Amino acid sequence: MIRKSSILITGAGGEVGSELIKVLSKQKNINIVTLDLHPLESEVSDYVNDKITGNILDDNLLEQINLEFEIKEIYHLAAVLSTRAELSPKIAHDVNINGTINMLELALKQSKTQNKKIKFFFPSSIAVYGVMDKKHSYTEEESLNPITIYGANKLYAEKLGIYYSKYYDQLSNNTSFIDFRSLRFPGLISAHTIPSGGTSDFIPEMWHNIKNNNSYECFVSENSRIPFLAMPDAIDAINTLMNAEKASSRIYNVTSFNPSAKEFFELIKKDYPKSTLTYNINDVRQKIVDSWPSNIDDSLARKDWGWMPKYDLNKTIDYLKG
């Protein structure tokens, strides 16, 4: 059987996957395969050649994918996100760690049959940090002390990717053919997808609620501040990194702006003057947000592969308004 040359995207129905699919379908003349627990929405599925509904923990399904497709790149987006992960840490570990190992093993099998490197993209998060100084702008190597299972999973998955890329089966002197590349995303803001209830979603939730209902009850304090990135910039960062010829690191920070909850509301209130913002602070979620940096240093990405966000805060609000 002739295998179809393909790109594989897991978690394709999420907010990043649904936007990434549209971009990749226009840029790459290659079969797009998606794997998600749920069927894709019609506005996304039209861009996909082979849609697979299933679980990244299903070994038999992954073996079928391995046999049917010649995979050139894997975008491993499937994950249990932050809030749900805290409620179900064992499930989060199974999906976020064992699922990632399964995808790395699939990449390894593909690299051996093709005798070439397979590019593997993994979205990490500022949840890997656990900071003491909120005023400091953190580099990729600083203060990696997560206080959530989601952050711990992301940090461990980064290390797994580095291991599979550089050290896999090192006692046998075998060479790994996985080209692992990862971005540490800040909070992401999309005009097209509703926030999924993550702890970093207080800004995106505020936007969608103010736009649709003229009010929002914020679960963190007015001074809460973390870095953010508009979704078009997130997709561009993935695309640019995956096409970069040289990368000195496996892990990169990317960011654009970092308003506090109060500052963001004051900006959008100009367009929605009747809107109201109240606060009902969730102590646990506040503690999590307080453990993340107010800003991160993405100078390495700017230096290595020319990263530069196109959307500052004001342009992001224009993008959200459509």
> What angle do the packed helices 59-68 and 99-114 form, to 10 degrees?
30
- If you average pLDDT over every residue of the chain, what do you get? 95
- pLDDT of res. 196: 77
Question: What average pLDDT does range 108-134 have in this prediction?
Answer: 95
Q: Please provide the CATH number assigned to the domain covering 4-186+231-253.
A: 3.40.50.720
Q: Which residues contact 192 (CB under 8 A, 6 or more apart)?
A: 15, 18, 19, 231
**CATH architecture assigned to 187-229+257-295+310-321:** Alpha-Beta Complex (3.90)
Residues of the chain with CATH 3.40.50.720: 4-186+231-253
Region of poorest pLDDT, from 174-183, 215-224, 276-285, 291-300: 174-183
Give the burial string for 51-79 (b: 16+ CB within 10 Å, else e). bbeebbeeeebbeebbeebebbbbbbbbb
Question: Residue 145 pLDDT more than 80?
Answer: yes
Residues of the chain with CATH 3.90.25: 187-229+257-295+310-321
* pTM (two decimals): 0.96
pLDDT, tens only, 3-44: 999 999 999 999 999 999 999 999 878 999 999 999 999 999
- pLDDT of res. 170: 80
The owner of tokens 């913002």 is 277
- pLDDT of res. 176: 67
Neighbours of 300 (CB within 10 A): 19
Length of the chain: 322
Q: How far apart are CA 77 and CA 120, in angstroms?
A: 11
The owner of tokens 């600083």 is 142
pLDDT, tens only, 44-62: 999 999 999 999 999 999 9
Q: Which residues contact 69 (CB under 8 A, 6 or more apart)?
A: 3, 4, 5, 6, 8, 31, 33, 50
pLDDT, tens only, 63-80: 999 999 999 999 999 999
Output the CA torsion 25→111→104→102 (10° steps).
Answer: 100
Classify 153 as helix, strand or coil.
Answer: helix
pLDDT band at 227; cut points 50, 70, 90: very high
Count Cβ atoms within 10 A of the Cβ of residue 90 and give its class: 0-12 exposed, 13-18 middle, 19 or more buried: exposed
